[in-house]
Amino acid sequence: MIQVAVYGKGGIGKSTVSANISYQLAGRGLKVVQVGCDPKHDSTRLLLGGRTQNTLLDSVRSGETDVGDVAAVGKNGVVCLEAGGPEPGIGCAGRGILTAFNFISEHDIINDDTDVVLYDVLGDVVCGGFAVPLRHRYADCVFLVTSGEFMAIYAANNVLRGIRNFDGDMARVEGIIFNSRGGANEERYVEAFADAVGLPVVERIPRSELFRTAESRGVTVSELDPGSDEASVFEGIAGRITGISEGTYSLHPARPLNDTDMQALAKGERIIGRTEEGCRRGLALNERETLRGCGSAVAFGCCWNIRDLDIVIHGPSSCSYYFRASRDRMLYLQRHLGDRPDSERVTCTDMDEHMSIFGGNEALRGKIEGMIGRGSKNIAIVTTCVPGIIGDNVRDICRELSERHGVTVIPIEADGILNGAAAQTRAVALKSILSLTIDEKPVPGVFNLIGHSDHVDPVMRNSDDVWKILDGLGIRIGCRAFDRCRLDEIRHLRRAVMNLVYDDNLVVRSISQCMEEFVQVPTYPHPLPRGLRESLDWIDGAVRDLGIDPERAEAEKRRLTDEFSSLTSDLRGDCEGAVALLFVSINTNLDWLMEACGVIGIKVAAALCPVVNKYQDEVASDSLRVPEGIPVSYGCNFDALKRKVSELNPDIVLGNIGHLADLKGPHLLFDSPPPGIRGAVEYMRRISRCVKVARL
């Protein structure tokens, strides 16, 4: 059996060519199957007397499995199949081609006694679905149908690019079928293109009224006038196909032109024939070219942290599983903080192959209606890549159901293919939610807090002094933005005079930037403090910048100083003479750690910074902020750390880089402690214990 793919631009005549070739091949006594791979499903019409047939995707949609409904026998006994496609503007036609081919395979429609399978394929866009016949287990050889019009030649060149992606230098192209439109100099354009890509023009189809007559009668030219010059063209192509199967005709590799030569072709200039290079698939070498992290998962996390917001994940069940499994804090929140179970808050449309072809609008509508029926008042719709690609009408569905039921349904179109990776999609989610804020005047003394987190470590969780400090200064928090807040608090974000940030990282920056842009609430640039010195300085700044009462500030500073002295009285000089080495990222706040080391008597000998991760540290400072006299080495890897440890023989290595866990010597991995003094003091105790054990 030989399998042949006929590619060409839409409307270029490839279906007419394919039907005539199939008719001629079947006339030679061969069993021929023609598969139309164009959503408009008209490839086999001339073989069926002008009528259209049921498509494979019609059967998939209806659930019918009777092969007789989709496999029609046409003129000369040609078995006719049409893949079909979804409704225009809905679903994914390319994915439908994949499904149609799976249907053919599962139902053994093309069996072992078939001699030729001919695929008639749309060549305008060679995406993953329409490229299926190019894959090795389908098309053995490819014909390109083109006229002298530039867009037809452009489509043919794109098909060659697709073949090269799959095959490299493998020979699988038979040649070009020139279907004349009667334009001036078009034969010269086609021949120039053929010469440049190294392919023969295997046949020239003349401009003829005979084709129009045959079309009107619903037959092929080969049937209408078998002895005509027009019919002899297809007889010649049929002979080539049988010759290929017998080994008398050779095939050619795909040598697509680059953009420069395609432009020269359009201008009628001389074409050098430089092959398109670099189109074979491979991993991106530039980090910015990749999608770093699932954007939909990040959007889901933003929604999850709003306690009274239920979530519909519009996508496959695998995405839903990944989103839930990746939220490590969920189990903690549900067990310890009284949140409703995940099963009550989150549902998924469970998009399958059927929905990815024909659209998931109805499934989405049903899930939202179901949640509303169970009493949900606030619902977020988080889309994944699939509905974004196929074009589901999420916004209109959300608007319609919001108005009909008087509830809040927020569309968060977070699919990474259209919006980008985690950072970009977080902004999409935040803007969608922030669109609900109410326009109101700020209330003096009210602030929003961005980036607060409940530490999983129970000791660190109990060391969070932030509420004591804020209460002592008379600062009232209106909303813990996107951290276990409620949607009503989000609506009233504009009541705050300013945003305070819990910590300084990319996530907090992205939230604060969105809130500044869409809610017009400015952000205080200094994050909440860690350690005593930083806390005292922060309070002084709050008096100056935030209008805090100086007397309250002094009282709070005295309280912190007294408490710090009490908590560290048994730790002072505990590790006198010990030496530490730091292995930290370049944007680490070390003020609290330097203070901690000074209190317990540790000297920091040196600091090493690993290679900066451009994704996580895009806004990192140029250098690590350490006290004068501590040498810093940049661009260090784990091997450099081990060499430094061997050189200095420190009592302990302190760091926030995960690789530190692989170090054999004494080490302590730390994270940023909670604001205030007690988190920093807890790290003092841990460092002290580690040094004492190492000295035993």
Mean pLDDT for back-to-back runs of 10 residues, the chain (696 residues) = 90 92 94 89 91 87 77 92 82 77 83 90 70 72 92 90 80 93 83 92 92 93 93 94 86 89 78 50 34 77 89 89 59 48 80 85 94 95 85 89 96 75 82 93 94 73 85 94 90 95 87 91 94 96 95 96 96 93 90 95 94 48 79 90 94 92 91 92 95 86
Does residue 9 carry a catalytic annotation? Answer: yes
CA–CA distance, 557 with 290 (Å, rounded to integer): 48
Q: The whole model's pTM is what?
A: 0.69
CA–CA distance, 54 with 65 (Å, rounded to integer): 12
- 38, 124, 140, 167: which one is catalytic? 124
- Residues 246, 303, single domain; the answer is no
Nearest 5°: the CA angle 376, 380, 382 is 140
Q: Is 537 domain-assigned?
A: yes
CA–CA distance, 434 with 683 (Å, rounded to integer): 37
- Main-chain phi, psi angles of 322, to 5 degrees: -65, -45
Q: Which residues contact 470 (CB under 8 A, 6 or more apart)?
A: 476, 477
Q: Is 290 domain-assigned?
A: no
- Residues 211, 99, single domain; the answer is yes
Mark which of 567, 592, 611 sits at the end of a domain.
567
Structurally, how many domains does the chain consist of? 4
Up-side HSE of residue 435: CA atoms within 13 Å toward CB?
A: 12
CA–CA distance, 315 with 386 (Å, rounded to integer): 6
- Residues 115, 165, single domain; the answer is yes
Amino acid in position 482: F
The CATH number linked to 347 is 3.40.50.1980
Using CB atoms within 10 Å of the CB of residue 146, give its burial: 0 to 12 exposed, 13 to 18 middle, 19+ buried.
Answer: buried
- Residues 143, 191, single domain; the answer is yes
E-only strand ranges, 469-568: 476-481, 498-501
Q: Is 627 domain-assigned?
A: yes
Mark which of 249, 267, 285 sits at the end of a domain.
267
Q: What is the pLDDT of residue 125?
A: 60
- Residues 55, 202, single domain; the answer is yes
Total Cβ atoms within 10 A of residue 482: 26
Q: Which of 682, 674, 673, 676 is nearest to 468 (CA)?
A: 676
Quick check: helix, strand or coil at residue 684? Answer: helix
Q: What is the pLDDT of residue 571?
A: 93
- Residues 72, 210, single domain; the answer is yes
Domain hosting 351: range is: 295-434
CA–CA distance, 543 with 410 (Å, rounded to integer): 40
- Residues 418, 464, single domain; the answer is no
Does residue 31 carry a catalytic annotation? Answer: no
Q: Which residues contact 615 (CB under 8 A, 6 or more apart)?
A: 287, 292
Q: State the residue for tokens 């799959």.
A: 166
Q: Do the Cβ atoms of 652 and 638 come closer than 8 Å?
A: no
- Residues 75, 190, single domain; the answer is yes
Q: What is the pLDDT of residue 272?
A: 62
- Residues 429, 452, single domain; the answer is no
Residue 346 pairs in a beta bridge with 311
Q: In what order do the strands lie in the sheet with 408-412?
A: 346-348, 310-314, 378-383, 408-412
Q: State the residue for tokens 């078998």.
A: 226
CA–CA distance, 475 with 464 (Å, rounded to integer): 16
CA–CA distance, 618 with 611 (Å, rounded to integer): 12
Q: Do the Cβ atoms of 67 and 20 come closer than 8 Å?
A: no
Q: Which residues contact 208 (CB under 8 A, 6 or more apart)?
A: 230
Tell me the two tokens of residue 536: 């005292």
Q: Which of 502, 379, 376, 488 is nearest to 448 (CA)?
A: 502
Query: Percent helix, strand, coil in the chain (nearest 5)?
Result: 45, 15, 40
Q: Is 274 domain-assigned?
A: no
Element housing 388 (H / E):
helix 385-390
Q: Is 34 domain-assigned?
A: yes
Mark which of 567, 592, 625 sits at the end of a domain.
567
Q: What is the pLDDT of residue 326?
A: 52
CA–CA distance, 152 with 161 (Å, rounded to integer): 14
CA–CA distance, 479 with 639 (Å, rounded to integer): 45
Q: Is 572 domain-assigned?
A: no
Q: Is 169 domain-assigned?
A: yes
Q: Is 691 domain-assigned?
A: yes
Q: Which of 460, 287, 360, 426 is nearest to 87 (CA)?
A: 360
The CATH number linked to 480 is 3.40.50.12380
**Intra-chain end-to-end CA distance of the chain, in Å:** 78
- Residues 479, 540, single domain; the answer is yes
CA–CA distance, 286 with 293 (Å, rounded to integer): 15
- 14, 75, 367, 644: which one is catalytic? 14
- Residues 523, 420, single domain; the answer is no
**CA distances in angstroms from 622 to 526, 628, 635, 641, listed in the order given:** 18, 16, 12, 20
The DSSP secondary-structure symbol of 213 reads H
- Residues 130, 191, single domain; the answer is yes
